[in-house]
Amino acid sequence: MTLTGWSQIALVLALVVACAVPFSAFIARVFAGERTFLSPVVGPVERGFYRLAGVDPGREQDWLGYTLAMVVFSIAGFLSLYALQRLQGVLPLNPRGFDAVAPDLAFNTSTSFITNTNWQNYSGETTMSHLTQMLGLTVHNFVSAATGLAMAFALARGFVRSSAQTVGNFWADLTRITLYLLLPLAFVLAFALVALGVPQTLLGAVDATTLEGAKQTISIGPVASQEIIKELGTNGGGFFNANSAHPFENPNAWTNLLQIFAILLIPTASVLAFGRVVGQVRQGSAILATMAVFVLIGILVVYWSEAAGNPILAALGVDPSLGNFEGKEVRFGQAMSALFTTATSGTSTGAVNSMFDSYTPLGGLVPMFNLLAGCIWPGGVGAGLYGFLVVAIIAVFIAGLMVGRTPEYLGKKIEAREMKLSMLAVLIYPLIVLGFVGASVLLQTALDSLGNSGPHGLSEIIYLFASSNANNGSAFAGINGNTLWFNTTGGLAMLLGRFAYVVPVLALAGSLAAKKKIPASAGTFPTDGPLFVGLLVGVIVILYLLQYFPALALGPVVEHALMLAGKTY
Amino acid sequence: MSSHKSKPQSLFDTRIIGVAAVDALRKLDPRALARNPVIFVTEVVSALVTVLFVRDLVVHNGQAAFSGQIAAWLWFTVLFANFAEAVAEGRGKAQADALRRTRTDTPARRYANPENLRGPLETVNALDLKLDDVVFVEAGEIIPGDGEILEGVASVNESAITGESAPVIREAGGDRSAVTGGTTVLSDWLKLRITAAPGSTFIDRMIALVEGAERQKTPNEMALSILLSGLTLIFLIVCVTLWPIARYSGTELSATVLIALLVCLIPTTIGGLLSAIGIAGMDRLIRFNVIATSGRAVEAAGDVDTLLLDKTGTITFGNRMATEFLPVAGVRVDDLAAAALASSLADETPEGRSIVALAKGDFGLPDPDLDPAETKVVRFAAQTRISGVDVGTRSVRKGAIDSILRYLKTSMDRTPHEFRQAVERVAMSGGTPLAVADNGRLLGVIHLKDIVKPGIKERFAALRAMGIRTVMVTGDNPVTAAAIASEAGVDDFLAEATPEDKLGYIRKQQFGGRLIAMCGDGTNDAPALAQADVGVAMQTGTQAAREAGNMVDLDSNPTKLIEIVEIGKQLLMTRGSLTTFSIANDVAKYFAILPALFLATYPELAGLNVMRLASPQSAILSAVIFNALIIIALIPLALNGVAYRPVGAAALLRRNLLIYGLGGLVLPFVGIKAIDLLVAALHLA
């Protein structure tokens, strides 16, 4: 670890927080449907959409209506994306003449993009036409993120409102988030990427003659436009297979900084915006501080572990001074790889600028733990906020009784119904991840996909399901996911991880909104200070440790112990 | 507050323990245990390990000693949980039995025709009385059931239920017409209409509640059960999937160790103590002579954030008292005191007595030496509102200002300037001025004042620190009310309050999300009692009031509302603290069991064995034993409740987190290590 490395990390994080504070005020205005400085330009477009779709943005839905609208929208998105991939061979903007995507892959990819996962069992540059990338994948990069934030808005309304029946209008939220937040940001930042050297063209590929005189086909395309929303929308699906390690997606240190910034900006700002809309900025700050604890510890562990390197290699005479550089890009270095990794796994982005399979065991443990926790620090666009709030509700319930009152969070009593819905949501994660991992290790066909045996092989399988389930989409690599078993189970994990989680969350929103808001007093469980931050950290660590400690012990932990003992397997 | 508390019950009364031990076995019935998912799961897997133990015995695989001990301790875990509940029930029952003894085999004299109260009487057993029967009770008899007085006035000894030996007057009509079964008539007679069928009187209902037969889960208990069930499910998933994952890693885990791990992880501690905590909460109330008609009410008491307190009797001592003498110019204060004393000798009202007390006490005046032959006493009468004495030609009078002015045939504007000033000052401060006249001359003013109970202001401050607002309800005018409110330190007051005002105030506060507790005794209090989240009816109150509230205070002491809130808070705190403790315990158990499971395959994991436990088997056994014993160890805490302090929520949280959160993390490391040393020394594993 170096001072320069830490300075870079501190610079990026400071930049994120500095921009998130004012940006959160903007998000709060979009949340409330208030007028913003973009209204003169975007307003007419927004109203045009409502007219076209016959939606009255003022007519609010109850939680079930909101959920149904979200589900219908997702199904429609799935079908259109599936059709687009299957028909891309006969559709325009296909300069390299790719054929239709295979049915199972098209299914997997559609599932992956409507759930904001962006797990990719294909290489974009050799599979998808420009039309599929732009009209299909890029569009879903926007709307799946907008859908996530819309659900967080609904849950936030549950806390804001008192004795209310409705939680907002899904169509209006979706439209506003896309038009006011995502599009303008993506538009501006995509230009920045282009200026920094990321390609943006409708050409398919460039043929080059190498120094040896060989012919080489270099894929290019509308990269910058997809790249920026890949980060902003915490999607993670790269234009190229190598994702943000690819020199055309992420050519230099500046684009790398911009990408990390783009990953963290909206999740961070939406947490602060939550504090604003519930009327106490401190509530949002407390949540963000809790998240920051996990982010900082994550960065520290990855950076330290990778900088320390592998004692086995050192023993073989490899110069240990650079630490473990396998799978990392020299133009980013270890510090910015550690930060990128923590950011991409702490959010549900899943873009990578280095390969986790090559990390040291503890370095790989960090993104894995982040995924197992559901990517909630600071989390995917919207998804992180509602995911974290569910955990916060459980933590408040466990500890809240200790002040001698029925637990309440932000003025809402946490009672049997809220507990039922929260537990229903969090039960999904271990059920899917541990269930599918347990089943996979019993199946020889599944084990055949592994690139490694022993603890590292187990890590690869755990990572795959954790990533699908948390809708992250990053891969540990070293495992061939494009098999019938992993396509199916991975697809199921993505679907359940998104929809089986958010339905209880939206029901929770409805249940909270219907409750009276209790005024705070000296007897109220304090949820805005360091005490609460410490409590949340403790409860989260214990809850997740208890769930995944055995699996982690047999994966990265034992791998680390073996490495220290100088053993390979 | 402690004067009415019945004798402190020893925590482990041997009789209760004996009965509870038997009950613990009886409660093994899975149909009964299904109400408690955590312990139910424990029982199912205990049976499973028992089967495995038998198999190990039969096939002689050398595992029998281990699986046998695990099975035994798993059964102990279930039994200890049952025992905790049984002890709590036993203590409640002991309390209830004492009450029930009062009503067995009471004879009752019933009117053959309830329409004809002059008709013949027949003697029946009290248990055979039906609703709306009319009975006759006279001095020396026990009242056979809860009832409403139709005719008669009697003094009744209610000590059987209140522990208060002073008799109370009960009479037809008005707010004192309800009587309780089991109390004794001391004088005169009563004709009562029975208002509760046998088996549904207050005492019956209370007995049913503590005995657990009718106990329903309270809302918070339900929510907590859901959390515990959810955690149980999660750990079930963890343990079931651990088998294939371990197999992949080259370790074949036996069902016995997986089950041991499961039971250590699922929250058996809080799961086992949950119902005991609830019952103990009700029991604490009963020992406090308050009967709650549902567990829900006790819980709501902890959530209350506004207390509606009647001024009279709660905040002030019911009666106004003389506090100063304010003479007009030219009159010595001692002369005024002497005149006030003389004029009040014949005033037997509390106010009159307080004037005598002030004059004799603070001014050290002797009893006036009055010649009975020359003295003519003018007694206080409600009509004249004047009392006094005529000695020879001298006549001294004291009374309400307007009455004295009328007596002197004068009017306010003709009185001395200082007199008017004094009257105004007393009125402004919320007191009541009385005038004293001697032979037609105004001497001055007596200041009568509502005396705020000592220490009440500090209690209100403590409540405020807990986030609880106090609201004083009084029939006084706003000026008087404001003065007393500020002196007592309440947060708000309702002056000139009618029962409708009270109800309206409660509704308004509830609409704003607040929870209200109040107490009342009159029939006109009933709607407000019913509307309040915690409505404490006084035992001396009317039947309507007692039906409307969800608690009855047998001592009829409205100040107890504050303690009721504290008991509710203590109940919730105990639950929360033990939940936190239970979950925090799991960390150490992982560190005990996981290395034990995988050390054979991966000796490199020895670093995780932070407790340096002797052997894998002793590690697992020690964790299971700790898990069982901790339930027994925590029974006293569950029954007595965690210490409550009236400090703010933040301070409470910090304190409890430190004790039960951090303590819950650390203690099992120590405990498991100690048990492991013992297990290794005894060669148990």
Are residue B219 and residue B81 in the same domain, yes or no?
Answer: yes
Of A31, A291, A295, the closest CA to residue A146 belongs to A31
Count of domains in chain B?
A: 4
Q: Is B369 exposed, middle or buried (0-12, 13-18, 19+ CB in 10 A)?
A: exposed
Does B302 sit within 8 Å of A558, measured CB to CB? no
Classify residue B228: in a domain, yes or no.
yes
Does A418 sit within 8 Å of B576, measured CB to CB? no
Report the distance separating Cα B530 and Cα B599, nearest Å.
63
ipTM: 0.95
Phi, psi of B399 (to 5 degrees): 175, -175
Report the distance separating Cα B395 and Cα B439, nearest Å.
5
Closest residue in A to B584 (Cα–Cα): A542
Closest residue in B to A455 (Cα–Cα): B249
Of A9, A403, A20, the closest CA to residue B302 belongs to A403
The pLDDT value given to residue A509 = 97
Are residue B380 and residue B264 in the same domain, yes or no?
Answer: no
The pTM score is 0.89
In B71-161, DSSP assigns E strands to 107-111, 121-125, 134-138, 147-151, 153-157
CA-CA-CA-CA torsion sign (A180, A186, A192, A194): negative
- What confidence tier does A499 reach under pLDDT thresholds 50, 70, 90? very high
Concatenating the DSSP letter of every residue in B473-534 gives E-SS-HHHHHHHHHHHT-SEEETT--HHHHHHHHHHHHHTT--EEEEE-SGGGHHHHHHSSE
Does A554 sit within 8 Å of B245, measured CB to CB? yes
Are residue B323 and residue B310 in the same domain, yes or no?
Answer: no
Does B653 sit within 8 Å of A403, measured CB to CB? yes
Report the distance separating Cα B7 and Cα B261, nearest Å.
44
Residues of B in contact with A439 (CB under 8 A): 244
**Among B460, B604, B644, the residue to mutate for chain A (most A Cβ within 10 A):** B604
Classify residue B161: in a domain, yes or no.
yes
- What is the Cβ-side half-sphere exposure of residue A499, based on CA atoms within 13 angstroms? 19
Classify residue B167: in a domain, yes or no.
yes
Q: Which residues contact B259 (CB under 8 A, 6 or more apart)?
A: B45, B48, B49, B70, B74, B239
Concatenating the DSSP letter of every residue in A387-448 gives HHHHHHHHHHHHHHGGGTS--EETTEE--HHHHHHHHHHHHHHHHHHHHHHHHHHH-HHHHT
Catalytic site positions of B? 310
Q: What range defines the domain where residue B163 resides? A: 130-196
Of B185, B160, B159, B181, the closest CA to residue B171 belongs to B185
Shortest Cα–Cα distance, B300 to chain A (Å): 8
Classify residue B214: in a domain, yes or no.
yes
Q: Structure tokens of A192? A: 């920045």
Are residue B255 and residue B339 in the same domain, yes or no?
Answer: no
**Integer angstrom CA distances of residue B257 from B70, B189, B433, B552:** 9, 72, 82, 51
* pLDDT per residue as tens digits for the range A384-439: 999 999 999 999 998 889 999 999 999 999 999 999 999 999 999 999 999 999 99
Residues of chain B with pLDDT under 50: 1-8, 103
* pLDDT per residue as tens digits for the range A21-54: 999 999 999 999 999 999 999 999 999 999 999 9
Q: Is B429 exposed, middle or buried (0-12, 13-18, 19+ CB in 10 A)?
A: middle
Helix/strand/coil percent split, chain B, to 5? 55, 20, 25
Specify the residue for token string 């900084």: A257
Q: Which helix (H) or strand (E) holds B438?
A: strand B432-438
Does B576 sit within 8 Å of A427, measured CB to CB? no
Q: Is B636 exposed, middle or buried (0-12, 13-18, 19+ CB in 10 A)?
A: exposed
- Give the domain-ending residue among B163, B196, B229: B196
Residues of A in contact with B575 (CB under 8 A): 401
Question: What's the CATH number where B391 sits?
Answer: 3.40.1110.10
Report the distance separating Cα A199 and Cα A221, nearest Å.
7
Query: Which one of B234, B468, B579 has the shortest CB-CB distance to A523?
Result: B468
Q: B156-160, long-range: CB within 8 Å, 24+ apart, which pairs?
A: B156/B183, B156/B184, B156/B185, B156/B186, B157/B183, B157/B184, B157/B185, B157/B186, B158/B183, B158/B539, B158/B554, B160/B99, B160/B102, B160/B184
Does B242 sit within 8 Å of A558, measured CB to CB? no
Query: Which one of A397, A430, A455 has the shortest CB-CB distance to B223?
Result: A397
Report the distance separating Cα A241 and Cα A238, nearest Å.
6
Are residue B424 and residue B549 in the same domain, yes or no?
Answer: no
Does B584 sit within 8 Å of A438, measured CB to CB? no
| Cα R_g (chain B), whole angstroms | 34
Are residue B358 and residue B240 in the same domain, yes or no?
Answer: no
Q: Structure tokens of A142? A: 């926007």
Q: Is B10 exposed, middle or buried (0-12, 13-18, 19+ CB in 10 A)?
A: exposed
Shortest Cα–Cα distance, B403 to chain A (Å): 49
Q: Is the peptide bond before B416 cis (omega within 30 degrees of 0)?
A: no
Residues of A in contact with B653 (CB under 8 A): 399, 402-403, 525-526, 531, 535
The three-point CA angle B508-B510-B514 to 5° equals: 120
Are residue B463 and residue B541 in the same domain, yes or no?
Answer: yes
Classify residue B189: in a domain, yes or no.
yes
Residues of A in contact with B579 (CB under 8 A): 398, 401
Does A458 sit within 8 Å of B223, measured CB to CB? no
Closest residue in A to B572 (Cα–Cα): A404
B469-473/B441-452 β-pairing: unpaired
Report the distance separating Cα A389 and Cα A232, nearest Å.
21
Q: Please, are residues B664 and B581 in contact by the beta-carbon 8 Å criterion?
A: yes
> Could you say which DSSP state residue A200 is in?
B
Question: What's the CATH number where B458 sits?
Answer: 3.40.50.1000
Residues of B within the annotated binding site for ATP?
Answer: 347, 351, 380-387, 398
Q: Structure tokens of B519? A: 């107490």
Q: Please, are residues B626 and B269 in contact by the beta-carbon 8 Å criterion?
A: no
Closest residue in B to A418 (Cα–Cα): B223
Classify residue B76: in a domain, yes or no.
yes
Are residue B372 and residue B263 in the same domain, yes or no?
Answer: no
Are residue B31 and residue B155 in the same domain, yes or no?
Answer: no
- Give the domain-ending residue among B414, B435, B450: B450
Query: Which one of B229, B235, B303 has the shortest CB-CB distance to A406?
Result: B303
Residues of B within the annotated binding site?
Answer: 347, 351, 380-387, 398, 521, 525
Report the distance separating Cα B256 and Cα B599, nearest Å.
17
Shortest Cα–Cα distance, A442 to chain B (Å): 6
Does A525 sit within 8 Å of B657, measured CB to CB? no
B107-111/B121-125 β-pairing: antiparallel
Query: Which one of B244, B511, B575 has the shortest CB-CB distance to A442?
Result: B244
Phi, psi of B106 (to 5 degrees): -80, 130
Average pLDDT of chain A, as a whole number:
93
* pLDDT per residue as tens digits for the range A160-169: 999 999 999 9
Question: What's the CATH number where B175 sits?
Answer: 2.70.150.10
Does A404 sit within 8 Å of B302, measured CB to CB? yes
The three-point CA angle A435-A436-A440 to 5° equals: 125
Are residue B281 and residue B173 in the same domain, yes or no?
Answer: no
Bridge partners of B157, per DSSP, are: B184
Query: Which one of B244, B466, B605 has the shortest CB-CB distance to A523?
Result: B466
Classify residue B386: in a domain, yes or no.
yes
H helix count then E strand count, chain B: 23, 21
Residues of B within the annotated binding site for Mg(2+)?
Answer: 521, 525
Bridge partners of B168, per DSSP, are: B156
The pLDDT value given to residue A352 = 93
Q: Is pLDDT at A228 greater than 80 in this prediction?
A: yes
Does B649 sit within 8 Å of A562, measured CB to CB? no
- What is the Cβ-side half-sphere exposure of residue B379, based on CA atoms within 13 angstroms? 4
Residues of A in contact with B466 (CB under 8 A): 404, 522-523
Q: Please, are residues B676 and B622 in contact by the beta-carbon 8 Å criterion?
A: yes
- Give the burial string for A506-528 (b: 16+ CB within 10 Å, else e): bbbbbbbbbbebbebbbbbbbbb
Share of chain A above pLDDT 90, in %: 77
**Among A159, A401, A437, the residue to mutate for chain B (most B Cβ within 10 A):** A401
Q: Please, are residues B310 and B473 in contact by the beta-carbon 8 Å criterion?
A: yes
Report the distance separating Cα B539 and Cα B176, nearest Å.
10
CA-CA-CA-CA torsion sign (B587, B588, B591, B596): negative
Classify residue B104: in a domain, yes or no.
no
Report the distance separating Cα A425 and Cα A429, nearest Å.
8
Q: Which residues contact A454 (CB under 8 A, 6 or more apart)?
A: A559, A569, B249
Does B657 sit within 8 Å of A434, measured CB to CB? no
Residues of B in contact with A558 (CB under 8 A): 249, 598, 602, 604-605
Q: Please, are residues A257 and A370 in contact by the beta-carbon 8 Å criterion?
A: no
Are residue B328 and residue B244 in the same domain, yes or no?
Answer: no
Does A441 sit within 8 Å of B245, measured CB to CB? yes
Closest residue in B to A446 (Cα–Cα): B248
**Integer angstrom CA distances of residue B156 from A69, A547, B140, B143, B193:** 69, 63, 10, 9, 16
Residues of B in contact with A403 (CB under 8 A): 573, 576, 649, 652-653, 656
**Integer angstrom CA distances of residue B267 from A546, B225, B231:** 12, 10, 7
- Give the domain-ending residue among B525, B554, B583: B554
Lowest mean pLDDT among A13-22, A145-154, B211-220: B211-220
**Integer angstrom CA distances of residue A62 from B60, B74, B202:** 64, 47, 44
Provide the terminal-to-terminal Cα distance of chain A, rounded to the nearest Å. Answer: 28
Query: Which one of A442, A545, A565 has the shortest CB-CB distance to B604?
Result: A565
Q: Structure tokens of A173? A: 């939220």
Shortest Cα–Cα distance, A438 to chain B (Å): 5
Query: Which one of A397, A430, A518 has the shortest CB-CB distance to B234?
Result: A430
The pLDDT value given to residue B363 = 83
Share of chain A above pLDDT 70, in %: 100
User: For the packed helices B268-287 and B616-640, what is the interaxial angle rounded to 10 degrees?
Assistant: 20
Are residue B310 and residue B457 in the same domain, yes or no?
Answer: yes
Residues of A in contact with B512 (CB under 8 A): 516, 519
